[in-house]
């Protein structure tokens, strides 16, 4: 499977990218397909029925013709009560996750299709501007269509936000749960101007679990220099990750008032190729904190804004 969602411990692997430290290819549109929930077979184990129904033997399932949805693109749920599972398939080791996805929920497809139990499965992460609403839905695998070929998941072309052009826009992006870093921007390199310096405080207590490579943890990367807005230096800071080899010595002079921090032009990208190699790393022995989901750890790394070059700008 290609592990291709923000602190890095337990659920924290995701927390770092979505909230605290670093930051949160579009398919063509297709004709609208809106089947009523009542039209889904009550015997299908992938859409939760309104009333108890007989168990279906997956060994006699007939594959459904799901609409192909490429990884790292948006899709929309077009039925009610779509079941999310921990693994593709309906075997006993594939856990049923709650709550069920409802019609209209937008997701980012991260992997698939994977054939299992006679269905085409997709790994999905719910996505949207309302991070609180998004957080209630689980990350996991859903089937793209029923046994009769009726689609449950449909490719979607959203209105993507613009490529960030300022610190303010980087901060705003991480406050949503759009996952536009992957579904809209991919690994495109772009430049912004910012003030750079060293924060008075780092990211707080070291979590039980971090990541390898360590430089993709924005709280530990190169001493964790951070960005402030050129025009509003007392606003919200943004902490990126720093690719190996980037000279961060300019930030050493940013130890006075933020308005006096040096102004730089930085180039960087989301979804750095090294993010695909991210693995969980135990920061200290004896911790009983459960290991984060390895797939979500990779996703957290992919959401990091990685600085690949930095040049001081004459003030």
- So what's the pLDDT on residue 243? 95
- Compute the distance between CA of residue 243 and CA of residue 258 in angstroms, rounded to an integer: 24
Residue range 37-80, pLDDT digits in tens: 322 333 344 554 443 333 222 333 334 445 589 999 999 999 99
Instruction: Pick the more confident residue, 20 or 167.
Output: 167
**Domain locations in the chain as residue ranges:** 12-24+161-312, 37-155
* pLDDT of 96 strictly over 60: yes
**Position 285 pLDDT exceeds 90:** no
pTM (global) more than 0.75: yes
Cα–Cα distance list, 28 to 69, 87, 110, 162, 217 (Å): 10, 27, 17, 18, 34
* pLDDT of the residue at 276: 97
pLDDT band at 223 (very low <50, low <70, confident <90, very high): low
Tokens standing for residue 51:
């009333």
Q: Smallest Cα–Cα separation from 205: which of 8, 4, 2? A: 8
Confidence of residue 218 (pLDDT cuts 50, 70, 90): confident
Kindly give, in sequence order, each residue whose CB lies less than 8 Å from that of residue 49, ignoring residues fewer than 6 positions away: 42, 81
Query: Running DSSP on this structure, what letter comes out for residue 233?
Result: T
DSSP type of residue 237: -
- Compute the average pLDDT of residues 189-210: 86
Judged against a pLDDT cut of 50, whether residue 278 lies above it is answered with: yes
**Percentage helix, strand, coil for the chain under 3-state DSSP, each rounded to 5:** 20, 25, 55
Q: What is the pLDDT of residue 68?
A: 84
Give residue-wise pLDDT tens across range 8-28.
Answer: 333 333 433 333 333 333 333
pLDDT at 224: 79
pLDDT for 275 beyond 70: yes
Rounded CA separation 49/215 (Å): 46
């Amino acid at each position: 499977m290609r592990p291709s969602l923000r602190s890095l411990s337990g659920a924290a692997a995701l927390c770092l990218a979505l909230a605290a430290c670093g930051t949160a290819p579009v398919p063509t549109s297709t004709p609208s397909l809106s089947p009523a929930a009542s039209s889904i077979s009550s015997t299908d184990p992938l859409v939760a029925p309104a009333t108890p129904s007989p168990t279906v033997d997956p060994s006699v399932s007939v594959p459904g013709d799901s609409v192909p949805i490429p990884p790292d693109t948006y899709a929309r749920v077009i039925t009610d009560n779509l079941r999310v599972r921990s693994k593709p398939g309906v075997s006993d080791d594939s856990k049923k996750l709650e709550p069920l996805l409802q019609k209209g929920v937008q997701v980012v497809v991260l992997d698939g299709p994977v054939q299992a139990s006679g269905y085409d499965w997709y790994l999905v992460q719910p996505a949207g501007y309302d991070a609180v609403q998004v957080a209630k839905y689980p990350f996991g695998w859903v089937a793209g269509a029923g046994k009769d070929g009726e689609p449950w998941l449909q490719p979607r072309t959203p209105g993507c936000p613009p490529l960030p052009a300022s610190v303010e826009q980087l901060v705003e992006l991480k406050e949503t749960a759009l996952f536009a870093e992957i579904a809209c921007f991919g690994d495109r390199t772009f430049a912004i101007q910012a003030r750079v310096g060293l924060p008075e405080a780092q990211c707080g207590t070291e979590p039980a679990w971090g990541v390898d490579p360590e430089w993709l943890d924005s709280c530990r990367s190169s001493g964790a220099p951070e960005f402030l807005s050129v025009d509003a230096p007392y606003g919200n800071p943004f902490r990126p990750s720093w690719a190996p080899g980037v000279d961060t010595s300019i930030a050493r002079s940013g130890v006075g008032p933020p308005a006096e921090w040096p102004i730089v032009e930085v180039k960087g990208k989301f979804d750095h190729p090294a993010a695909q190699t991210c693995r969980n790393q135990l920061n200290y022995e004896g911790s009983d904190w459960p290991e984060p989901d390895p797939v979500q750890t990779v996703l957290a790394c992919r959401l990091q804004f990685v600085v690949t070059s930095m040049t001081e700008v004459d003030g």
